[in-house]
Amino acid sequence: TCTMECTRRTLTLARAKSYAKERFNASLQQYWSSNSTSRYKDLNIPMPKGPSPELTLPRRNLGHLLAARTGHGDFAAYHHRWAHDDALLTCSCGRDKTPEHFFFCWKGRNIERIKTPEACRGPKEAIDWLLSTVRGATTFSTWCTNTRFFIDIQRRY
């Protein structure tokens, strides 16, 4: 429903379309601000205008990126919550699978370190950059491909 007061001035068709688009985008931004998940809010992931550039990533890597962003995926906490008794809860390094484990796993780091900007001070900023920016997502995807982390190191089964 429209919450704006209507005025009696006339608009050209082009201006009316532009106005409708502005109102739609403003409403969508407001919806995103109030309804995005807490993880997306913590990562400060903005609502994309149009198709998200991350959609060009290889499908497997995009899936791992989205799982790390949302926390919904092949992680120990998820399997405990849903009582998946047959799930593999740990990485081959011996630590629990978590959304951020890829960054800390010594096996993945021994193959190739993830390159983050120097402005990232500490692991939290580096992980936030990797998961919340387009450049970070591209870096994450390249690292996933080069290390085969989710294929050979942190296996699903």
- Tell me the per-residue pLDDT of 85-105, one tens digit each, with 9 for 90 and over: 999 999 999 999 999 999 999
* Total count of residues recorded for the chain: 157
Average pLDDT, the chain: 91
| Amino acid at residue number 99 | P
Distance of alpha carbon 97 from alpha carbon 17, whole angstroms: 49
C-beta pairs of 22-31 under 8 Å, 24+ apart in sequence: 25/49
pLDDT band at residue 9 under the 50/70/90 scheme: confident
| Amino acid at residue number 92 | S
Whether the pLDDT of residue 6 is over 80: the answer is: no
Q: Which of the 8 DSSP states describes residue 56? A: G
At 90, is the secondary structure helix, strand, or coil? Answer: strand
Choose the most confident range, by mean pLDDT, from 9-18, 71-80, 129-138. Answer: 129-138
For position 10, what pLDDT does the model report? 79
